[in-house]
Amino acid sequence: MVLLADSHPALLEGIRGLLGAVFDSVVMVSDEESLMEALPRLDPDLVVVDQSLRVAQESNVITLLKKYDSEIRIIALSTYHGPVFMKQCMSSGASGYVLKRSAAKDLVKAVEEVLRGGTFVTSDIGTS
């Protein structure tokens, strides 16, 4: 089961369609409160989260998730193509970093790699 967290409803539906090919169950949430309520109830295999999802008490959503469960597998979705954002997400504990614009070609590959215990970074990360 995958938990998908993003505050953009249209994007959630598109990503849900992609993930439906890999998971029997994809649950969508759109804010921090719903995310934190869903985690203990659903015990997801993977969380795919918009790295810019606003959280109240932590510097970013990935830090919040890792504080909740240090073993949780996370793929960050982002509109930011610079390596600074990717490095921040990965150092916070994400196992994958996928640009939203590359999700159609990269997200399923990222999911497969992260579930095998590896890491995945979208290949078209910029240089600045």
In order along the chain (128 residues), what is the average pLDDT of each group of 10 residues? 90 87 90 96 96 89 96 96 92 96 94 96 77
Q: Is residue 17 part of a domain?
A: yes
Residue 9 belongs to domain with CATH number: 3.40.50.2300
On whether the CB atoms of residues 78 and 84 are closer than 8 A, the answer is no
pTM: 0.94
Angle formed at CA 81 by CA 80 and CA 83, multiple of 5 degrees: 105
The sheet with strand 2-5 has its strands ordered as 26-29, 2-5, 46-50, 74-78, 96-99, 120-121
**Number of domains the chain contains:** 1
Sign of the Cα torsion 92, 33, 27, 14 reads negative
The residue segments making up the domain with residue 70 are: 2-121
